[in-house]
Amino acid sequence: MRRFVRLILVVASAAVVLAGTVTGVTALGRGLISHASSAQAMPLLPIGTSTLEGSTVYADDGTTVLATLRGPEIRRPVQLSQVSKTLVKAVLDTEDARFYIHGGIDIPSAVRALAADSASGGGLQGGSTITQQLVKQTYLSSERKISRKIKEAVLAERMQQKYSKNQILQAYLNIIYLGNSAYGVQAAANVYFNEDVSQVTLPQAALLAGLIQNPNGYDPFQYPLNARTRRSEVLSRMVHYKDITQAQANAANATALPTALTKPPASADVTTNYYVREVINEMLGANSPIGGNYAERYQALFEGGLKIYTDYDPNLQRLAEATIAQDTPANNGGFEQAMVVIDPATGKVRAMVGGSATGSSAQFNVVTQGTRQPGSGFKLFTLVAALEAGYSPLDTIDATAPCAIAFPGNNDFVPPSLGGPPGGKAPTNDEGNGTGGTVSLVVATAQSLNCGYLRLGHEVGLPAIASVAQQMGITTPLAIKDTATGQSSYVPSMILGSLGVHPIDIASAYATVADGGVYHAPSFVDHISDRSGSVVFRGASKGRRVFSTQIAAEVELCLNAVVSSGTGTAAALYNRPVAGKTGTTNGPTDAWFNGFVPQLEATVWMGNPQSTRNVIVGGTPVYGGMYPTRTWHDFMQVALASTPVQQFVPVDYAALPSAKYITSPQLAIDDKSAHGGYPGNSTSPPGSNGGQNNIGGFQAGSG
């Protein structure tokens, strides 16, 4: 009867705080009673039983095991009587001062914590007794939901009925994680002080008790200032509860922190699989769904028995690895290829090869960690920004090179002979048709004509281009900070892909076009279950519309021309529409192909992951239209062998604005080259076709 009454009090308190109304209490109360009932039925393992279990990472089929994650650990269980009384007092004063007074839960503290959490709108936290903490680490995940808190409270009450306070405290002191691979107070005393736990002094006890809340954030070796502050807080609590005097606290505060680990932890490097390593990084990162701080995340991942179901497709992964191994040319420049494959409709990353997985590359994933110049692959964002601004893919523009063009506040592309700064240089068309001429946006894209895109970017504006890039998933900075003035601004070379991006971001941007203008954040994890089978996280992205399906169709028209007759012809697949864009940076230091069919996007990069050395194989500079495009083709040809052919959404030509020649009086002024600045600020250059488009009849490029 006593347990039942306390259970009802817990559920009712939670319902009142969270619901706030009689109707809300009734509805929420039913759900909480259900969670309480399920916890009542869970078996209780014997006290002190180790339930630590590595997490299992699965492929998308739910059965193929990619890895079992177990971290390094140091454990030395002891009896409660062996633990320094000073340390016991420090832990109790810090974590649960009423431990020997209340039951498994401390109802006043729990209600106060629930009220504070409800008012702040944050996740559930605080108010947990030592018994509840032991229950969470033994039976439950660290997800911050009311259902978990109710289960925790019920199990704590059951544990309180079955075991004595001293048994619970002993189990807790032996299981808590205190950082640097130390589990339990004896292991921590050894690691931090090279002492037996029975000999721990007051300043040492206060440091260890403070670590319980955040072992990573209060690590005395990594964050000594934080550790000192936290130790002082613990000592203040001990003074408050009259376990020490203020003079003792002052002396302890003046004691130096430990400066070296007695037993350094073993490496937690559990796999060289790029995909699994990315999952580990996400689960331990600040936005992880499995814990509120690093210690919780670490414990949940390496000891929580989680089942992590990823978006990894074993067949596509094997194919990606085999294709890269086959198509990457032998070289002595350290040049590698990397690839990421994305489902455009969901953002799920289906396969990823982050490099050669040898030497230093085994620790560095160029797809997610690398910041590489995308070259002409970045022109996608200028194209989208232009179409959103009302231009048509059938509009024409002067793509003649070289093109000395001044941008607002920036003359980097104007040589000194035309009034530019020292070092100013007029760009040329490095790929495709080098001379350019007056062409449509379709042709300018297909031939990757730099000068056409720079004139287009001048008209659209750098802020608009940067905004589109960010909306389509580019997460790296696009504004350059002037070291002299401290001001940040966009630079025109951005249009040509001079700023570093993560390859996975570029892949997601092209996948946005493939999904008709809907951006999905790249996803590696589909869902996670805890050891009880409850789903604690779902990773599917609903997507966010960035631009219309009509604009997506117009972009696809331009990108399809890249493959059908432009710089990316090596990507063409028999009887299947393909869209994509080559990219090559100055040197060249990076070579790319970003391509897609409606069902699948893949980005291939080639370069040296550890440097910006020029990519030259057999004495020949490597362009995006060479090895990366061929690798993309060979991968997709097999990957799509059993996939039905699907057409791109057609352009609604009736919805296009009337074709025009793209220029403006300001462009005529800012275009300093001999090929621009037309007399009288005319909107049609001499010899132009008055805005009539010429889509065909151009020479295929070398990209």
What are 49-69's pLDDT values in tens digits? 555 678 999 999 999 999 988
Look at residue 183 and give its three-state secondary structure: strand
pLDDT bin (cut points 50, 70, 90) of residue 358 is: low
529 neighbors 536 (Cβ within 8 angstroms)? yes
Q: Across 102-116, 355-369, 567-581, which has the greatest mean pLDDT? A: 567-581
Best CA proximity match to 344, nearest among 531, 611, 579: 579
First to last CA, the chain: 80
Best CA proximity match to 294, nearest among 71, 52, 537, 527: 71
Task: Answer whether residue 72 shows pLDDT above 90.
Answer: no
Q: Exposed, middle or buried, 112 (CB in 10 Å: 0-12/13-18/19+)?
A: middle
197, HSE (Cβ side, Cα atoms, 13 Å): 24
pLDDT of residue 674: 54
pLDDT of residue 698: 24
pLDDT of residue 321: 95
Higher pLDDT, 362 or 657: 657
Rounded mean pLDDT, 297-310: 89
Higher pLDDT, 105 or 61: 61
Provide the phi-psi class of 21: left if phi over 0, else alpha when psi is between -120 and 50, else beta: beta
The residues, ordered by sequence, that sit 6+ positions from 160 with a Cβ below 8 Å of its Cβ are: 103, 104, 131, 168
Q: pLDDT, tens digit, for every residue of 192-245? A: 999 999 999 999 999 999 999 999 899 999 999 999 999 999 999 999 999 999
The residues, ordered by sequence, that sit 6+ positions from 686 with a Cβ below 8 Å of its Cβ are: 678
DSSP symbol at 298? H
pLDDT of residue 6: 52
301 neighbors 54 (Cβ within 8 angstroms)? no
At residue 248, what is the residue type? Q
Q: pLDDT, tens digit, for every residue of 365-423? A: 999 999 999 999 999 999 999 999 999 999 999 999 999 999 999 999 999 988 899 99
Best CA proximity match to 548, nearest among 520, 516, 515: 516
Dihedral sign for Cα atoms in the order 586, 591, 592, 593: positive
**What gap in Å lies between CA 358 and CA 365, rounded to an integer?**
11
Measured from the Cβ of residue 34, the count of other Cβ atoms closer than 10 Å reads 12
Q: pLDDT, tens digit, for every residue of 370-382? A: 999 999 999 999 9
657, HSE (Cβ side, Cα atoms, 13 Å): 15
369 neighbors 641 (Cβ within 8 angstroms)? no
Task: Answer whether residue 173 shows pLDDT above 60.
Answer: yes
pLDDT of residue 304: 84
β-pair partners for 307: 56, 529
Measured from the Cβ of residue 689, the count of other Cβ atoms closer than 10 Å reads 11
Rounded mean pLDDT, 441-454: 96
pLDDT bin (cut points 50, 70, 90) of residue 690 is: very low
Q: pLDDT, tens digit, for every residue of 508-531? A: 999 999 999 999 999 999 999 988
Rg of the chain taking only CA atoms, in angstroms: 31
Q: What is the mean pLDDT of the chain?
A: 84
User: CATH 1.10.3810.10 in the chain, residues?
Assistant: 2-41+73-253
DSSP symbol at 529? E
Q: pLDDT, tens digit, for every residue of 328-344? A: 999 999 999 999 999 99
Share of the chain above pLDDT 70, in %: 80
Give the alpha-carbon dihedral of 231, 233, 239, 245, to 10 degrees: 40
**What gap in Å lies between CA 249 and CA 255, rounded to an integer?**
10
pLDDT bin (cut points 50, 70, 90) of residue 109 is: low
Higher pLDDT, 451 or 691: 451
111 neighbors 17 (Cβ within 8 angstroms)? yes
Measured from the Cβ of residue 490, the count of other Cβ atoms closer than 10 Å reads 22
The fold for domain 2-41+73-253 equals Penicillin binding protein transpeptidase fold (1.10.3810)
Task: Answer whether residue 621 shows pLDDT above 80.
Answer: yes
Task: Answer whether residue 558 shows pLDDT above 80.
Answer: yes
pLDDT bin (cut points 50, 70, 90) of residue 77 is: confident
Measured from the Cβ of residue 357, the count of other Cβ atoms closer than 10 Å reads 15
Task: Answer whether residue 320 shows pLDDT above 60.
Answer: yes
**What gap in Å lies between CA 570 and CA 439, rounded to an integer?**
23
Best CA proximity match to 464, nearest among 408, 545, 543: 408
- What is the architecture of the domain spanning 341-681? 3-Layer(aba) Sandwich (3.40)
Token code pair at residue 240: 């408050």
> Could you give the residue ranges of the DSSP H alpha helices within 60-193?
85-95, 107-120, 130-139, 146-162, 165-175, 185-193
Dihedral sign for Cα atoms in the order 76, 79, 84, 86: positive
pLDDT of residue 148: 58
Q: Count of residues for the chain?
A: 703
Measured from the Cβ of residue 574, the count of other Cβ atoms closer than 10 Å reads 6
**What gap in Å lies between CA 580 and CA 375, rounded to an integer?**
14
At residue 478, what is the residue type? L
Q: Exposed, middle or buried, 688 (CB in 10 Å: 0-12/13-18/19+)?
A: middle
Task: Answer whether residue 25 shows pLDDT above 70.
Answer: no
User: CATH 3.40.710.10 in the chain, residues?
Assistant: 341-681
pLDDT bin (cut points 50, 70, 90) of residue 35 is: very low
Dihedral sign for Cα atoms in the order 437, 442, 444, 448: negative
pLDDT bin (cut points 50, 70, 90) of residue 134 is: confident
pLDDT of residue 272: 60
pLDDT bin (cut points 50, 70, 90) of residue 648 is: very high
Rounded mean pLDDT, 162-183: 90
Helix, strand, coil % (nearest 5) of the chain?
40, 15, 45
Task: Answer whether residue 136 shows pLDDT above 60.
Answer: yes
